[in-house]
Amino acid sequence: MAAPPLPPPQFFHSTGAATAPDSPTPLSLLPQCSSLRELKQVHAFAIKTHLLDYPSTITRLIGSCTARPNAASMAHARKLFDQVSHPDTILFNILSRGYSRLNSGLSLEAVSLFVRVLAIGLTPDDYTFPSLLKACAVSKALQEGKQLHCFALKLGLVDHNIFVSPTLINMYTECGDVNGARRVFNSVKSPCVVTYNSMITGYARASRPNETLSMFREMQARDLVPNDVTMLSVLSSCALLGSLDLGKWVHEHVKKNEFDRFVKVNTALIDMYAKCGSLEDAVSVFREMELRDTQAWSAIIMAHGTHGRSFEAISMYEEMKRARVPPDEITFLGLLYACSQTGLIEEGYKFFRRMSEECGINPGIKHYGCMVDLLGRAGRLEEAYNFINELPIKPTPILWRTLLSACSSHDNVQMGKQVVEQIFKLDDSHGGDYVIFSNMCSRAGHWEEVDRMRKLMGDRGAVKVPGCSSIELHNVVHEFFSGDGVRSISMAIHRSADELFKELKLVGYVPDTSLVNHADMEEEEKEITLRYHSEKLAIAFGLLNTPPGTTIRVVKNLRVCRDCHSAAKLISSMFSRRIILRDVQRFHHFEDGKCSCGDYW
């Protein structure tokens, strides 16, 4: 007698009464599937044996597709989902979470699907919005995210839900609306650690370190215990500010709470110390680490590179190889950067080739930039120009700007003109391009070209970024802008700068007035302009407010100019001070009248 037919499929919800048998089935192999092909084999067997008639089977198959999602596995999961006539919220949440894990435009498919299932009566729950908002964050879809925000508000899921508020804050910050994220944070009546972390991370990503640290202090005042995620953002903000004293205080907090057991926190400490000018502390943290991954090795290699310790960076790479830790793109970026700082051209080419030929890592725009910088600094401008033109990708304005800086360093106006025209074809809104080329022309006496650049700059609305330098004293960061005379403290510093440069002239300092590109300016006016450059004001403030022998640490937002570089060398000798100046490109360690860069910058 033939066996009775199985009951028809019951595709009403993923956790309904109809369930798969308890006995072992091929479905137990799903967690072991390493490819979509293997998963489809299990799927086919489920169809053949009528296991697909049970709703829980669909749920497990979709869950396996979304566990490690890619475009193909999500397409298969979507086909399975579309077979369910009345999917429930749990099944949708599983599929939506898979979409949110894709780093591509496909992530937004979750939102489109959400609109469709709402039409058939699906009711969202606490777990629905986090994945949808994450999908919007990945896709930078601010408008869709705002619509979901409104819907979540209507359902009352924002103020009292520990999952929705943090993902909302993250969505706004990822989409570039940090103020929108803060409004969400302010609306939460009792923010938890996760909510604070989302806001702190958002400020850190937006390069707003002061707000990051303010939120951290507020979090502590509420007696909320920070975790390793908190410390990563706080340390990155200390690094951005160049605030060594504050960074050391955070390090003590890290040790006290045993966050230094996390490799990522130690890596952030290495980066913080390096960017705050204390390479010795960075090396100390690295050496004390019990476990060092690729990121930690890359961080210490980059630290040596930015401080101009090229041979030490290469030595660390050799040690990394002996430890059998595989390099990544950041490792090679640090090596190429190190080579560019001291003109190690052959070594730079060697690492550039090894990166792709031996390690299978495709160079990115930053690696190409390092090679252009390496060739440009060495004066091989034609070679650098040809290198950019022969790239397998379309050159970016940043690559051409790197070469423009090299043309300026070598006073090659003819090449500079070709390069600046290439830049303007791609982006004519960056004020620094006009200024660099104008300065080149003024030093060469090409005043007609200087006037042309000024007119173009005005017509196109390009704005020059003002020079800003900061110095930390007693846990307070003081900022100085070139020529700034607004604050009362600046007037005192200006008087101090006046006295300082009188003394400098007595020991041979000659202001490089060729850097001031105003033909109608008197020499005395040009000297005053140079005297009040932001880094000189910050150094003068440090001399005035620290005991003799104290190291002065200054952070500048632009590249240090030649005149300030010369002055800093003389000041370090005159006052027996060590001056560590971090500009946008590297660190300069001034001591006994010399600089660590060897004037190769």
Q: Please determine, for residue 249, whether its predicted confidence score (pLDDT) is greater than 50.
A: yes
- For residues 370 and 420, membership in a common domain is answered with yes
In a domain, 268, yes or no: no
pLDDT in tens, 512-567: 877 776 666 778 888 888 888 999 999 999 998 999 999 999 999 988 988 999 99
Percentage of the chain modeled with pLDDT above 90 = 58
Last residue of a domain, one of 464, 480, 495: 464
> Is the CB of residue 464 less than 8 Å from the CB of residue 435?
yes
- For residues 453 and 473, membership in a common domain is answered with no
- For residues 428 and 509, membership in a common domain is answered with no
- For residues 476 and 432, membership in a common domain is answered with no
Which of 282, 264, 263, 286 lies closest to 273, judged by CA?
Answer: 282
Task: Provide the pLDDT for residue 489.
Answer: 56
| Gyration radius (Cα) of the chain, Å | 30
- From residue 329, alpha-carbon distances to 269, 300, 368 in Å are 20, 14, 12
8-state DSSP, 430: B
Tokens at 485, concatenated:
């005379």
Tokens at 260, concatenated:
């230094």
- For residues 487 and 418, membership in a common domain is answered with no
In a domain, 411, yes or no: yes
> Is the CB of residue 369 less than 8 Å from the CB of residue 399?
yes
The larger pLDDT score, comparing residue 296 to residue 57, is at 296
- From residue 169, alpha-carbon distances to 12, 41, 111, 194, 549 in Å are 35, 41, 18, 11, 46
- Strand pairing class (579-582; 587-591): antiparallel
Q: Please determine, for residue 15, whether its predicted confidence score (pLDDT) is greater than 70.
A: no
Task: Provide the pLDDT for residue 516.
Answer: 75
- pTM tops 0.85: no
Measured between alpha carbons, how far is 402 from 342 in angstroms, rounded to an integer? 16
CATH number at residue 433: 1.25.40
> Is the CB of residue 212 less than 8 Å from the CB of residue 237?
yes
pLDDT in tens, 54-64: 777 888 888 88
Residues 6+ apart with CB under 8 A from 206: 173, 176, 178
Lowest model confidence (mean pLDDT) among 157-161, 198-202, 370-374: 157-161
Tokens at 487, concatenated:
């604050």
- For residues 432 and 379, membership in a common domain is answered with yes
Task: Provide the pLDDT for residue 87.
Answer: 84
pLDDT grade for 6, boundaries at 50, 70 and 90? very low
Tokens at 407, concatenated:
């043309």
Q: In terms of C-beta density within 10 A (0-12 exposed, 13-18 middle, 19 or more buried), how is residue 532 classed?
A: buried
The larger pLDDT score, comparing residue 25 to residue 1, is at 25
In a domain, 205, yes or no: no
Place of tokens 């435009």: 105
Q: What are phi and psi of 479, to 5 degrees?
A: -110, 145
- For residues 525 and 440, membership in a common domain is answered with no
Last residue of a domain, one of 446, 464, 482: 464
Domain residues for 574? 468-595
- In order, the DSSP letters of 297-353 are HHHHHHHHHHTT-HHHHHHHHHHHHHTTPPP-HHHHHHHHHHHHHHT-HHHHHHHHH
Measured between alpha carbons, how far is 5 from 485 in angstroms, rounded to an integer? 90
Place of tokens 């896709």: 139
Tell me which amino acid residue 314 is.
I
Q: Please determine, for residue 23, whether its predicted confidence score (pLDDT) is greater than 50.
A: no
In a domain, 541, yes or no: yes
Measured between alpha carbons, how far is 450 from 452 in angstroms, rounded to an integer? 5
- For residues 473 and 439, membership in a common domain is answered with no
pLDDT grade for 19, boundaries at 50, 70 and 90? very low
Task: Provide the pLDDT for residue 524.
Answer: 81
In a domain, 77, yes or no: no
Measured between alpha carbons, how far is 74 from 20 in angstroms, rounded to an integer? 24
> Is the CB of residue 42 less than 8 Å from the CB of residue 25?
no
pLDDT grade for 16, boundaries at 50, 70 and 90? very low
> Is the CB of residue 74 less than 8 Å from the CB of residue 65?
yes
In a domain, 35, yes or no: no
Q: Considering its fold, how many domains does the chain have in total?
A: 2
- For residues 414 and 513, membership in a common domain is answered with no
Last residue of a domain, one of 408, 443, 464: 464
> Is the CB of residue 359 less than 8 Å from the CB of residue 327?
yes
Task: Provide the pLDDT for residue 9.
Answer: 36
Task: Provide the pLDDT for residue 13.
Answer: 40
Q: What are phi and psi of 533, to 5 degrees?
A: -60, 145
pLDDT grade for 178, boundaries at 50, 70 and 90? very high
Instruction: Count CA within 13 A, CB hemisphere, residue 372.
Output: 28
Measured torsion, CA atoms of residues 223, 226, 231, 233, in degrees rounded to the nearest 10: -80
In a domain, 515, yes or no: yes
Measured between alpha carbons, how far is 216 from 219 in angstroms, rounded to an integer? 5
**Angle at which helices 71-82 and 89-100 cross, to 10°:** 160
In a domain, 200, yes or no: no
Q: What is the mean pLDDT of the chain?
A: 88
- For residues 478 and 581, membership in a common domain is answered with yes
- For residues 472 and 588, membership in a common domain is answered with yes
Neighbours of 150 (CB within 10 A): 10
Which of 477, 507, 478 lies closest to 571, judged by CA?
Answer: 507
The larger pLDDT score, comparing residue 516 to residue 102, is at 102
Residues 6+ apart with CB under 8 A from 458: none
- For residues 402 and 449, membership in a common domain is answered with yes
pLDDT grade for 7, boundaries at 50, 70 and 90? very low
